[in-house]
Structure 1
Amino acid sequence: MDQPLDILKKYWSFTSFRQPQEQIIQAVLEGKDTFVLMPTGGGKSVCFQVPAMLTKGICLVISPLVALMKDQVQNLQKKGIKAIALTGGIKTDEVSTLLDNCKFGNYKFLYLSPERLQSDWVVERIKELPVSLVAVDEAHCVSQWGHDFRPAYLKIADLKAHLPDVPFMALTASATARVQQDVITHLSLNEPIVFKKSFYRENLAYFVVRAEDKLYRMKQVLDKYREPAIIYVRNRRACHETARQLQSLGFRATYYHGGLTTREKETNMRLWLEEKEQVMVATNAFGMGIDKPNVRMVIHIQLPENLESYYQEAGRAGRDGNKAFALLLLAGNDMATARSQYLEVLPDRHFLKEVYSRLNSYLQIPYGEGINESFPFSFNHFCTRYKLPPAKAYAALQFLDRQGIISLSNEFTEKVSVKFVVPGREVIRYMSLNPADEGMLQVLLRSYPGVFDLETAINVAGIAAKAKTDVQQVMQLLARLQKREIITYSASGNDSSLTFNEVREDELTINRIAKFLEQQNNNKALQFDAVLQYVTNTQRCRSRILLEYFDENVTADCDICSVCVEKSRKDTDIAEITSYVLQLLKAMPLDSRQIEEQLGLTPEQAIQAIRLLLDNNKIKNTTNNKYTVV
């Protein structure tokens, strides 16, 4: 019979396990429930994939990340292992066929989202499968105190009741002690063995640097470290803009975000992985399942929403064990901007009720009806019609989606996509000949600098508002530009699809979920406060702050983060100052003001040096309040 190491060598070509992979695998093979807390890049997938290959039956993997599911399925298939994923957009009859394949086709892995378990018929079909192991990835999503709570995860406990003899494994890369206990409770894990790998990365230096000119600072560090780097930004526009700025400075840079086509994502990813491009500029859509060992630098040019996501993204640097840097660039107004982006857009109970009510009116859902009905949905038109702030309205819809009230299609894009097919000088010429169009065109170009490179999704209502015109005028301009072969553009009547998972009950629905909204908002505020404390700290080791946030007790500083380096520099400075003061006092007794003047010190520097010398009995105080050597 094969042993775990045999499987690892055969399919993954590794000659040994990382700690504590082998112990986790052994616990699973003994039929025990396990909780696995490993930092990003720790090798969590091997912990359920290897034991699944050693047992009869199929491993059920529950994950909220479609991209990661597809990536893992493709990797398993390349190894000759039969795996399948039930991702979004698959029709019911196709799902049924795929589940038949799992039952009769000798598959080893079935990946699906937790939302799939909300369909009773899917659960009934899973009960018919020879399930040998259930792996719950991103398990922190089960906790309302986690940074990414998804109520659908609460249904997994029902599956546990149907499969009482099957071992369950909960895996996450970020969970505080409170979240850990929540996961164990809500998944009904039976006396699980808890495996924790330290979050400490001895080779990763965390730096927070004040920089009003972030592009200049990025140029400095990328010039110094010419190895692969990742730059994280908050949105698609910043993705294109930052990549273009770096390219203009001579860097090989590409980009990655959720709005790219599959082909574009794969192309840009390959260019970076093969190091034909040095820098990957990306939103948080990039990174899951990416294990490039020689990334030397991860740079955040905007504040993260929480320390959990920051730790995961920063942790993609230095996986080869060599010195690497996680650099966060901070400008004067960044904290206020981030607070506006993350907290001020959170919907309260009253706004949530308004959005839900408007949504039912917009789609003409009668009271007590609507369950399982799907509709094409134009988010822009919805917001424009009811004069709703888009960011806040989208946050409300996301909350309704996470609570399982509605399902909003993951393929969210804007209504219109545009690409300029002529050089910039031709656009300037057009504006000079058509001054009536200049205002709208300038808004479009300022808002979407990427339109010269690729087809870019635009917010027509937003452009109209900024240009002080209406949507119809903008659409007419686009039609004129396309007729003159200045642009190509595509427009669809709807940018999303929306399904109601429950009957319309208005007040009853909102009352039932309002407490979760309050918990979510409070939790997000606490998490963002932790980010602010991290970036404004100038006294405590940054690595220790991160470790303590994840409830890991540490007693020593890392000695390589920005705070530790600054302390070391200051310690060196005061040692030199103390030496100068001692040499000066050997010549004659002096008071503190005379020491300041002769050495050009600040009062604080002089006092600190004098205290150190007094404490070490190198000098003494004379009767006329001067200092002299002992």
Structure 2
Amino acid sequence: METALEILQKYWKHDTFRPLQNNIIDSVLAGNDTFALLPTGGGKSICFQVPAMMKDGICLVVSPLVALMKDQVANLQKRDIKAIALTGGISADDTINLLDNCQFGNYKFLYLSPERLQSDWILDRIKSLPINLIAIDEAHCVSQWGHDFRPAYLKISLLKPHFPKVAFLALTASATQRVQEDIIAQLQLQKPVVFQQSFARKNIAYMVFETEDKNYRIEQILTKYPQPSIIYVRNRKSCLDVSSQLNAAGFRATFYHGGLPTKEKDKNMQRWMNEEVQVIVATNAFGMGIDKANVKTVIHIQLPENIENYYQEAGRAGRNEDKAFAVLLTAPSDTIQAENQFINALPDKKFLTEVYIKLCNYFRIAYGEGIDEQFSFNLNQFCQKYGFPALRTFNAMQFLDRQGIISLSQEFSEKITIQFLIESKEVIRYISLNQNDEEIILAILRTYPGIYDMQTAFNLPLVAKKSNAKENQVHAVLQKLKEKEIIDYHAKNNDATLIFNEVREDERTINRVSKFLENQNQLKKSQLRSVLDYVNDGKNCKSRTILGYFGETDTTDCGICSNCIKKQTTPIDNNTLSEKILSLLKMQDFDSRELEKLTKFQSADVIFAIQHLLENDRISINPNNQYTLRK
């Protein structure tokens, strides 16, 4: 039999293993349940792919993202290794054929999402396969204390009794001690051998900068470091806005988010991978499985939800071991925005109870009835009927799903997408000739400013409300605009599927799970608090702060983060800088960006000096947002 190193050299053309890879492989080959915590870029896939190639049979890989599965299957196939991905959208007949191939076609890898394990017949077919190893990728998804909990991951433990002699390998790049223990318990790993590599990324400089003008600071960074970069933003609109601004400023940029058609996603990602563009602006939909070694900078322009997400996203920089930068740009208003998005949208017990009761009423389920009843469900229509805020309602329903009270398919993309095909001046001309349609079209344009540039997810109830029209009136206008080839309009019937798993018992149902809701909310709050502590701490090494969060205490200052550099820098003379600013303002008025250029001081120092001068009434702000001397 070929050795692990020979397999690595033969198929992957590497001469040596990375740290801990060989130890993990040896543990798996010895038949041990194994837990491996390897930071982003640590080479987790090799840990199950190599031992699977050394044994007869097929390796089952449970993975959370279709893109990640497709990428790994494609890479294996390039190496002449037979692999299949059982993703969503495959018909039952095709699924049967794929599983037949796994059973009789000498395949080595079967990738599937955890949701597939919820189909009893698929689970039964898997039990009949010659499984040689079960690998659980992104295993933090199994823990309700993790940052990306997915209830379907809890089903993986159902495989344990059927494969008592098959090793389970759980892999993740970020998990606190509490999450590690929960993963081991939830997967029912038996006396697992635990391998944990340090979270330290010594070549990454973690930088936090407070700035009045984030766009300007981004341009400075991208000019100084023209290598491949990722900019993470919070929503789809920001993807387009930031990308457009960068292109207008002379940079080559594209964007990526979950709402793009698959073809456009692939095209934009390939342009960035092939370095036809320098920058990809993305939501957190862009990440898992992205393997580009020479990313120089990862820039976040809004606060992340938790340190785990931030560490994973920042860790996409510098995988080639060259020095790289993880930059977080902040402004005073960011804290309020983050609390509104991540904390204020959390459901409390009272709101959860109200949502559950209204949900039962919505589908006319009587008290004591409803078990196993299935319905088509539209979140926007439900929220509009009862006046519920959409994000908070979605969070409440996700919680009910995680607790098994309901099962909710995650098909919450909008049913309608539209894009204007003619220029804005032609749209205005059309409005002047069709005044009955004016309110609806203006509501669309105000709600979706990027609708000229891309296919845009369209919320029909929202536009109807904003234009004081009925939904069928909005629909009629859309149809008319499509027929006149003014818009490209696509409607899909992809409401979520909702199944009630228990009989309706109102408060009694919610009382049973309210303790878990309280725990979840406390976790979210403490995670955001850790992010705010990381951002606001101007003294301690940023790298050590991150390592401490993950439980590493025996650490030293990195010497390259923003706080470490601040310690090494000779303190500036604020009086000298203030006088320099005053002398410049004697000539003419300037904004902060111009003062930064002219004084050649750091942005934070200039802002501090400006604030000092404002507080002491030495300068004021004119209507053009420039600073001027007090008369």
In the superposition, the TM-score normalised over structure 1's length comes to: 0.85
Post-superposition Cα deviations, 1:475-531, rounded to whole Å, max 9, x if no partner, equal 344344334432222234x44231416244343543443332222111111111111
Q: Does the 8 Å CA contact 1:367/1:503 hold for their aligned counterparts?
A: no
SS where residue 88 of structure 2 aligns?
Answer: coil
Q: Does the 8 Å CA contact 2:366/2:504 hold for their aligned counterparts?
A: no
Q: Does the 8 Å CA contact 2:368/2:505 hold for their aligned counterparts?
A: no
Deviation at 1:194?
A: 1.3
Distance 1:509 1:101, change over 3 A: farther
Post-superposition Cα deviations, 1:251-271, rounded to whole Å, max 9, x if no partner, equal 111111111111111111111
Report the counterpart of residue 386 of structure 1 in structure 2. Answer: 386
Structure 1, 76-85 or 401-410: larger mean CA deviation:
401-410
Deviation at 1:107?
A: 1.9
Q: Does the 8 Å CA contact 1:544/1:554 hold for their aligned counterparts?
A: no
Q: d(CA) in 2 for partners of 1:309 and 1:121?
A: 35
Deviation at 1:138?
A: 1.5
Post-superposition Cα deviations, 1:234-285, rounded to whole Å, max 9, x if no partner, equal 1111111111111111111111111111111111111110011111111111
1:85 corresponds to which letter in structure 2?
Answer: A
Alignment of 1:403-442 (within 5 A): 403-431=403-431, 440-442=440-442
SS where residue 61 of structure 2 aligns?
Answer: strand
Distance 1:169 1:391, change over 3 A: same
Distance 1:2 1:528, change over 3 A: same
Report the counterpart of residue 8 of structure 1 in structure 2. Answer: 8
Distance 1:97 1:196, change over 3 A: same
Distance 1:190 1:19, change over 3 A: same
Mark the runs of 5 or more structure 2 residues left unpaired by the alignment: 577-631
Whether 1:559 aligns to 2:559 is yes
Whether 1:214 aligns to 2:235 is no
Q: d(CA) in 2 for partners of 1:29 and 1:463?
A: 58
Q: Does the 8 Å CA contact 2:375/2:498 hold for their aligned counterparts?
A: yes
SS where residue 498 of structure 1 aligns?
Answer: strand
Whether 1:190 aligns to 2:190 is yes
Report the counterpart of residue 86 of structure 1 in structure 2. Answer: 86
Structure 1, 226-235 or 432-441: larger mean CA deviation:
432-441
Whether 1:272 aligns to 2:299 is no
Report the counterpart of residue 348 of structure 2 in structure 1. Answer: 348
Report the counterpart of residue 200 of structure 1 in structure 2. Answer: 200
Q: d(CA) in 2 for partners of 1:501 and 1:135?
A: 31
Q: d(CA) in 2 for partners of 1:302 and 1:534?
A: 14
Report the counterpart of residue 164 of structure 1 in structure 2. Answer: 164
Bigger CA radius of gyration: 1
Q: Does the 8 Å CA contact 1:376/1:497 hold for their aligned counterparts?
A: yes
Post-superposition Cα deviations, 1:382-401, rounded to whole Å, max 9, x if no partner, equal 22122221111111222233
Whether 1:496 aligns to 2:498 is no
Distance 1:403 1:552, change over 3 A: same
Structure 1, 436-445 or 313-322: larger mean CA deviation:
436-445
Report the counterpart of residue 146 of structure 1 in structure 2. Answer: 146
Q: Does the 8 Å CA contact 2:300/2:328 hold for their aligned counterparts?
A: yes
* Count of aligned pairs between the two proteins: 574
1:516 corresponds to which letter in structure 2?
Answer: F
Q: d(CA) in 1 for partners of 2:465 and 2:85?
A: 42
Q: d(CA) in 2 for partners of 1:179 and 1:132?
A: 27
Report the counterpart of residue 527 of structure 2 in structure 1. Answer: 527
Deviation at 1:140?
A: 1.6
Post-superposition Cα deviations, 1:270-317, rounded to whole Å, max 9, x if no partner, equal 111001111111111111111101111111111100000000000001
Alignment of 1:245-324 (within 5 A): 245-324=245-324
Q: Does the 8 Å CA contact 2:379/2:412 hold for their aligned counterparts?
A: no
SS where residue 313 of structure 1 aligns?
Answer: helix
Q: d(CA) in 1 for partners of 2:88 and 2:322?
A: 39
Q: d(CA) in 1 for partners of 2:54 and 2:283?
A: 38
Structure 1, 141-150 or 522-531: larger mean CA deviation:
141-150
Report the counterpart of residue 627 of structure 2 in structure 1. Answer: none
Distance 1:435 1:543, change over 3 A: farther
In the superposition, the TM-score normalised over structure 2's length comes to: 0.85
Alignment of 1:331-480 (within 5 A): 331-365=331-365, 374-431=374-431, 440-467=440-467, 469-480=469-480
Distance 1:118 1:403, change over 3 A: farther
Deviation at 1:113?
A: 2.5
Q: d(CA) in 2 for partners of 1:553 and 1:573?
A: 36
Distance 1:471 1:25, change over 3 A: same
Structure 1, 213-222 or 496-505: larger mean CA deviation:
496-505
Q: d(CA) in 2 for partners of 1:370 and 1:252?
A: 55
Report the counterpart of residue 510 of structure 1 in structure 2. Answer: 510
Deviation at 1:370?
A: 5.3
Structure 1, 419-428 or 15-24: larger mean CA deviation:
419-428
Deviation at 1:434?
A: 5.6
Q: Does the 8 Å CA contact 2:136/2:171 hold for their aligned counterparts?
A: yes
Report the counterpart of residue 174 of structure 2 in structure 1. Answer: 174
Deviation at 1:132?
A: 0.9
SS where residue 392 of structure 1 aligns?
Answer: helix
Q: Does the 8 Å CA contact 2:365/2:504 hold for their aligned counterparts?
A: no
Deviation at 1:472?
A: 4.3
Deviation at 1:454?
A: 2.1
Q: d(CA) in 1 for partners of 2:71 and 2:119?
A: 25
SS where residue 147 of structure 2 aligns?
Answer: coil
1:505 corresponds to which letter in structure 2?
Answer: R
1:33 corresponds to which letter in structure 2?
Answer: D
Give the alignment's Cα RMSD to 1 decimal: 2.4
Deviation at 1:358?
A: 2.8
1:55 corresponds to which letter in structure 2?
Answer: K
Q: d(CA) in 2 for partners of 1:240 and 1:101?
A: 42
Deviation at 1:463?
A: 3.0
Structure 1, 369-378 or 203-212: larger mean CA deviation:
369-378
Whether 1:569 aligns to 2:566 is no
Q: Does the 8 Å CA contact 1:61/1:134 hold for their aligned counterparts?
A: yes
Report the counterpart of residue 127 of structure 2 in structure 1. Answer: 127
SS where residue 426 of structure 1 aligns?
Answer: helix
Deviation at 1:119?
A: 3.9
SS where residue 391 of structure 2 aligns?
Answer: helix
Q: Does the 8 Å CA contact 2:544/2:557 hold for their aligned counterparts?
A: yes
Deviation at 1:201?
A: 1.0
Q: Does the 8 Å CA contact 2:444/2:463 hold for their aligned counterparts?
A: yes
1:44 corresponds to which letter in structure 2?
Answer: K
